[in-house]
Structure 1
């Protein structure tokens, strides 16, 4: 058999493909996106003081301020004891933080309270309504006042702090409104101007009632608020009070 010559390649014929061995590609390691985690940690760090305060309020309420230990606050917040001290050096500082963050905003009045178009009486009524809405209807604020009333005598530092940060500011606001009302002729009760805190006495009584007798004798809050406002306005706008007769004064002392 005569062998057949292979067909010669033409110059323009494509060269046969050659298969090169697979060359491993350099692996690229995906870099984790740390921005989200960093932001989450940052948010967590910013929230930490409030988490400590909330845990402390629960512990103070359940155990009492005197018997609460920083370790129990840390455990409830899910953090180490040292982390608590990083934000609050003492247990008293934690309570002060609660007062500053929870009670103080009640008296951070919005701009409309300075509206000269409203009378002093109208603004005073708005302030009293604000006290009822933010103090009586907010459990956390009730609990702080309850702790202060029940254990404040053991911790005069806490009483002094509350008086300086809360009560002094509240009295100054009320004093300003009463003085404005007297200057404009709207108010006539000059004795009240000397002790303006008497005007918010019923509101404090309502707060105390809410955590003492409310389960036995619920306070009708709307009616109580309305009675408070009427008492304040009639007392401030009424005729000038006469001096108390000696006999009545003696009876009052009994």
Structure 2
């Protein structure tokens, strides 16, 4: 089917992206306001934008035209922490998604253990398998209803069990038990069904074509996970 975005209403347009851009990593953001009140909330329009410089990007919506607490805190402080979400923390994350008032500490409602970050004032979630201390590089206003935040990663905290090589920066995702956002309402996925597929070099691809095996390589179901 074909869908013309201009002919759809706001909810329909949003549902298309929520339902088809899958899976989406979850940025569980911790921030603080000017009074020191901690805010914790999850956002799934989020991803890494660059490895070097290390950049993360997250889009934060508004609530009835008013900026959410996270967006206000980030704009005022210029810094925050992105915590990744493991399956054992999933329900605690869900509690922090409840639309509490501005003065409610979501971390307390969810029973989270917070710890000091080293480079920013916002705390990190101690039990998160990985956390990134971030400083705002740029905030882009999107039609007055969303804030697109581009941030430099200043430091990372990673659970010891996931560190394979601390020099080469190799990590094993299995111990982290990460989850990702799927379609509405409230669907999530586990990051665990992985397969390895190195990209062939030009020389390897040319050799496959000369040997007449390139079509077999393209026929994914012949030797890929779908055949198992």
TM bucket, shorter chain: under 0.3
TM-score normalised per structure 1: 0.22
For CA contacts below 8 A with separation 6 or more, give which structure has more relative contact order: 2
Bigger proportion of residues as helix: 1
Answer with 1 or 2: which has the greater Rg: 1
Name the one with the larger strand percent.
2
